[in-house]
Chains A and B, each alone.
Chain A
């Protein structure tokens, strides 16, 4: 059996595959890249050639402009492509629209780079598919036993209850522009909120992209002063950074909400001045991480970023060989999550 490091190895630029001569989610410009999903810490501009799902390529083009890479190749979910002798298959990861795990196979060895993923249902993207493998390379953003994301319908119900309790105030929901914002909107629609939702300008292009991919977001309007809208009783969605910026001053006595897995920890909510924390995450929580590893029982578990030491400890307690790669450059911060 060949060693896994012969197929994929951590380097400062990211995971590198020598026999296929490509990187997965490189953090600096490289000749050949496989991109798992469109979040900016994983999908950067300036690579020579990019292999990704059609949705991820569309997201990258929307964010960076059409010339974001020298060449692009779209790989649909489940359709194997070759990089020299290496077979690469993109499989749904359930993280955001177009997100994929990269299944890398060579000489009988299969390694799965999960990218970022979650296991629960998300109306805005295809669900995670477990792939049996020799080495499972996982993220661990929420790799501590404190993270148990509650059902998202319950979190949305808390938001709607607050809107009913404080009809004179507006509710500002901080949500990452790619994925989280559209998921929150879909969840609100599923909970019966059919009024216009106001959105920050930074969300508009990605909202349109999601709608172009068949995800119905219902009536949206820009939250601009020009609309002279009375925002009392309204739900407004913006990127997390805008919530504490001067942008938020146009709203009447806003209730600051924030949709993020980090909101599980009260101190994090308090530190940001979040009044209504909504624990809605696009990452796997502790239970999903451990259940996934348990389901796959890989020969080896590699952990890319996040809280590697706790997940490694769990794997050790469950007789699974684990290795923390400590890759740098992937945001473990609260904007995403």
Chain B
């Protein structure tokens, strides 16, 4: 338990992806079975047991100490699990510290009242970091900034294999994954990935470089289709096992029972998960209402019905079609989707074209309807096999040009890790009228899109023009006659009640730094509101 606790503790404060990979891989290398397997399951979210309620934990601690002292402690620390971990009165001579596997074994077989008794005994035996880790494990959700994908990458690093090889076998394995570690450490063969309903590692596209790629690519070699603006998914039904996966192999079946219900086929589809109304595809904002929910109610499903727009066919009736060229897979896909009797799975249509110029024109002005809110175009070589990962050459994504506005730097926050001595996270705003006066209102935050050299210059600007400091944040001088203007690029706008300005940007980043532009000439909030109205008009049902 101590090594696992130390791992979580470090992960929770580590920002760099590489450092996280090192920490997880080192832990997996140094920790024996079965502890490391349970830890891996905890990190990937593949553990389940009767969780303890936070209210129980609070009550347990208040039975042991003065409630007023507990309240002051909680007020100071701000996090219940952490407070309890710190204030739990040590009991000298308590039991020895439990191993992680012991904890998990006991929990998996226990009822809730039993769980509560177990926890109290363990809390007595552990030191504060161990107690904190135990409580995080118990109350569900580690939240230490490690995705399932990152944990699997660390596993792959351990064995020196591509992560797709781990992903492909993942859903055939069960915690504590002794067969997985045995394979990665060269003690046995790779586990067979052939369990029905398994995930197949996704094929991803490279970004197209217009300046280079059009000169060397032959348009006749490529098919084009829209890049739909939802989330990439894989839908599988094999021998009655129905699954919906994200492109990283996270199982999201429970979040989308309505989609699972319509998978009346035998095979595996690659496609885009979208909210599909009667009048076409809804915006990404609508899909977001459905994402990241553990359970889903009928009302929400009726309001935002989800479906799949199919891109590719990975398996059909027990046959692996990934080894076929895209041209053949496409023919099979069209027939496959055509046989399905549901409007909730449709086909992503190909866009015929002769020349790159023709395609560029299509991308610049998409026809009315769904393509208006597509993210851009995809190019796929007719002869490409379906390969895991992001191979160079067969597939390209060609995103539509981003939206651009000029905004003024308002606040800067210190970065993390390598950037901790730099003010590298920027909140920017646009002009609006507040009580009859022109004032800035924040519209977004961005922390990339600039070079290291530019970062140094912005950092200096922030330090030289600080108005106030709030912990790691500085407010920066920003007035009509003085301020720093960023040209900000973003992918779309949504209405937001959480932002004072009422709008939220998707994927904002610094596009250019306009040292030359007077702050007073930056954009107005009204400009963003007009953009938003335009986007909503496109995705709204057409007028009768």
* Chain A positions within 8 Å of B14 at CB level: 275
* Chain B positions within 8 Å of A275 at CB level: 10, 13-15, 19, 417
Interface residue A53 (Cβ < 8 Å from any Cβ of B): no
* Chain B positions within 8 Å of A266 at CB level: 12-13, 79, 82
* Chain A positions within 8 Å of B26 at CB level: 165
Query: Does B76 lie within 8 Å of A265, measured CB to CB?
Result: yes
Query: B61-69, B253-261, B491-499: which one contacts chain A?
Result: B61-69
Interface residue A323 (Cβ < 8 Å from any Cβ of B): no
Interface residue B78 (Cβ < 8 Å from any Cβ of A): yes
Query: Does B65 lie within 8 Å of A145, measured CB to CB?
Result: yes
Shortest B40–chain A CB gap in Å is 19
Query: Does A273 lie within 8 Å of B414, measured CB to CB?
Result: yes
Query: Does A148 lie within 8 Å of B86, measured CB to CB?
Result: yes
- Measured CA separation A270–B65 after assembly (Å): 28
Interface residue B106 (Cβ < 8 Å from any Cβ of A): no
CB contact between B73 and one of A146, A162, A245 (< 8 Å): that residue: A146
Kindly identify, within residues 252 to 295 of chain A, every residue whose CB is under 8 Å from any CB belonging to chain B.
253-256, 264-267, 269-277
Shortest A193–chain B CB gap in Å is 20
* Chain A positions within 8 Å of B418 at CB level: 253
Query: Does A165 lie within 8 Å of B22, measured CB to CB?
Result: yes
Shortest B507–chain A CB gap in Å is 24
* Chain B positions within 8 Å of A253 at CB level: 16, 417-418
1/0 per residue, CB under 8 A from B, across A61-83: the answer is 00000000000000000000000
Query: Does A146 lie within 8 Å of B77, measured CB to CB?
Result: yes
Interface residue B367 (Cβ < 8 Å from any Cβ of A): no
Shortest A135–chain B CB gap in Å is 23
Query: Does A166 lie within 8 Å of B472, measured CB to CB?
Result: no
Query: Does B19 lie within 8 Å of A310, measured CB to CB?
Result: no
Specify the chain A residue showing the minimal Cβ separation from B73. Answer: A146
* Chain A positions within 8 Å of B415 at CB level: 273
* Chain B positions within 8 Å of A310 at CB level: 69, 72-73
Specify the chain B residue showing the minimal Cβ separation from A246. Answer: B421
Query: Does B416 lie within 8 Å of A273, measured CB to CB?
Result: yes
Specify the chain A residue showing the minimal Cβ separation from B25. Answer: A165
Shortest A86–chain B CB gap in Å is 36
Interface residue B471 (Cβ < 8 Å from any Cβ of A): yes
Most buried by A among B10, B70, B83, B414: B10
Query: Does A267 lie within 8 Å of B13, measured CB to CB?
Result: no
Interface residue B127 (Cβ < 8 Å from any Cβ of A): yes
* Chain B positions within 8 Å of A254 at CB level: 420
Query: Does B421 lie within 8 Å of A144, measured CB to CB?
Result: no
Kindly identify, within residues 54 to 103 of chain A, every residue whose CB is under 8 Å from any CB belonging to chain B.
none
- Measured CA separation A208–B65 after assembly (Å): 46
* Chain B positions within 8 Å of A146 at CB level: 73, 76-77, 83, 86-87
Interface residue B529 (Cβ < 8 Å from any Cβ of A): no
Specify the chain B residue showing the minimal Cβ separation from A145. Answer: B87
- Measured CA separation A253–B14 after assembly (Å): 13
Most buried by B among A147, A264, A265, A267: A265
Query: Does B417 lie within 8 Å of A166, measured CB to CB?
Result: no
Interface residue A224 (Cβ < 8 Å from any Cβ of B): no
- Measured CA separation A314–B70 after assembly (Å): 11
How many A residues have CB within 8 A of the partner chain? 40
Kindly identify, within residues 29 to 87 of chain B, every residue whose CB is under 8 Å from any CB belonging to chain A.
65-66, 68-70, 72-73, 76-79, 82-83, 86-87
Query: Does B421 lie within 8 Å of A248, measured CB to CB?
Result: yes
Query: Does A274 lie within 8 Å of B73, measured CB to CB?
Result: no
* Chain B positions within 8 Å of A255 at CB level: 19
Shortest B52–chain A CB gap in Å is 20
Shortest B423–chain A CB gap in Å is 10
Interface residue B128 (Cβ < 8 Å from any Cβ of A): yes
Interface residue A219 (Cβ < 8 Å from any Cβ of B): no
Interface residue A158 (Cβ < 8 Å from any Cβ of B): yes
Interface residue B316 (Cβ < 8 Å from any Cβ of A): no
* Chain B positions within 8 Å of A3 at CB level: none
Shortest A258–chain B CB gap in Å is 11
Specify the chain A residue showing the minimal Cβ separation from B90. Answer: A148
Query: Does B19 lie within 8 Å of A264, measured CB to CB?
Result: no
Interface residue A249 (Cβ < 8 Å from any Cβ of B): yes
Interface residue A300 (Cβ < 8 Å from any Cβ of B): no
Shortest A172–chain B CB gap in Å is 9
Interface residue A150 (Cβ < 8 Å from any Cβ of B): yes
- Measured CA separation A56–B26 after assembly (Å): 46
Query: Does A271 lie within 8 Å of B13, measured CB to CB?
Result: no
Most buried by A among B6, B22, B23, B417: B417
* Chain A positions within 8 Å of B23 at CB level: 165
Query: Does A276 lie within 8 Å of B472, measured CB to CB?
Result: no
Interface residue A213 (Cβ < 8 Å from any Cβ of B): no
**A150-B127, A165-B22, A313-B66 known; A267 vs B78 contact (CB < 8 Å):** yes
**A148-B128, A271-B472 known; A244 vs B69 contact (CB < 8 Å):** no
Specify the chain B residue showing the minimal Cβ separation from A286. Answer: B87
Shortest A287–chain B CB gap in Å is 8
1/0 per residue, CB under 8 A from B, across A128-144: the answer is 00000000000000001
Shortest B509–chain A CB gap in Å is 22
CB contact between A274 and one of B13, B79, B90, B128 (< 8 Å): that residue: B13
Interface residue A309 (Cβ < 8 Å from any Cβ of B): yes
* Chain B positions within 8 Å of A2 at CB level: none
Specify the chain A residue showing the minimal Cβ separation from B15. Answer: A275
- Measured CA separation A264–B87 after assembly (Å): 11
Kindly identify, within residues 133 to 187 of chain A, every residue whose CB is under 8 Å from any CB belonging to chain B.
144-148, 150, 158, 162, 165-166
Specify the chain B residue showing the minimal Cβ separation from A287. Answer: B90
Shortest A91–chain B CB gap in Å is 29
- Measured CA separation A247–B77 after assembly (Å): 31
Query: Does A144 lie within 8 Å of B76, measured CB to CB?
Result: yes
Kindly identify, within residues 305 to 329 of chain A, every residue whose CB is under 8 Å from any CB belonging to chain B.
307, 309-310, 313-314, 317
* Chain B positions within 8 Å of A267 at CB level: 77-79
* Chain B positions within 8 Å of A247 at CB level: 421
Shortest B385–chain A CB gap in Å is 38
* Chain B positions within 8 Å of A248 at CB level: 420-421
Query: Does B66 lie within 8 Å of A265, measured CB to CB?
Result: no
Query: Does B69 lie within 8 Å of A273, measured CB to CB?
Result: no
**A313-B66, A313-B69 known; A269 vs B87 contact (CB < 8 Å):** no
CB contact between B13 and one of A264, A277, A314 (< 8 Å): that residue: A277
Kindly identify, within residues 418 to 473 of chain B, every residue whose CB is under 8 Å from any CB belonging to chain A.
418, 420-421, 471-472
Shortest B94–chain A CB gap in Å is 15
* Chain A positions within 8 Å of B19 at CB level: 166, 255, 275
- Measured CA separation A92–B91 after assembly (Å): 31
- Measured CA separation A313–B23 after assembly (Å): 42
- Measured CA separation A244–B418 after assembly (Å): 10
Query: Does A256 lie within 8 Å of B78, measured CB to CB?
Result: no
Q: A244-B421, A275-B417 are in contact. List 6 more A-B contacts (CB 8 A).
A: A146-B73, A150-B127, A243-B420, A243-B421, A244-B420, A273-B414
- Sample (22) of A-B pairs whose CB atoms are under 8 Å apart: A145-B70, A145-B86, A148-B86, A150-B128, A158-B6, A165-B23, A165-B26, A245-B421, A249-B421, A253-B16, A254-B420, A255-B19, A264-B86, A265-B77, A265-B82, A267-B78, A271-B472, A273-B414, A273-B416, A307-B76, A310-B72, A313-B66
Q: Which of B's residues lie within 8 Å of A, judged by CB? A: 6, 10, 12-16, 19, 22-23, 26, 65-66, 68-70, 72-73, 76-79, 82-83, 86-87, 90, 127-128, 414-418, 420-421, 471-472
The 3 A-B pairs of least Cβ separation, nearest first, read A146-B86, A273-B420, A145-B87
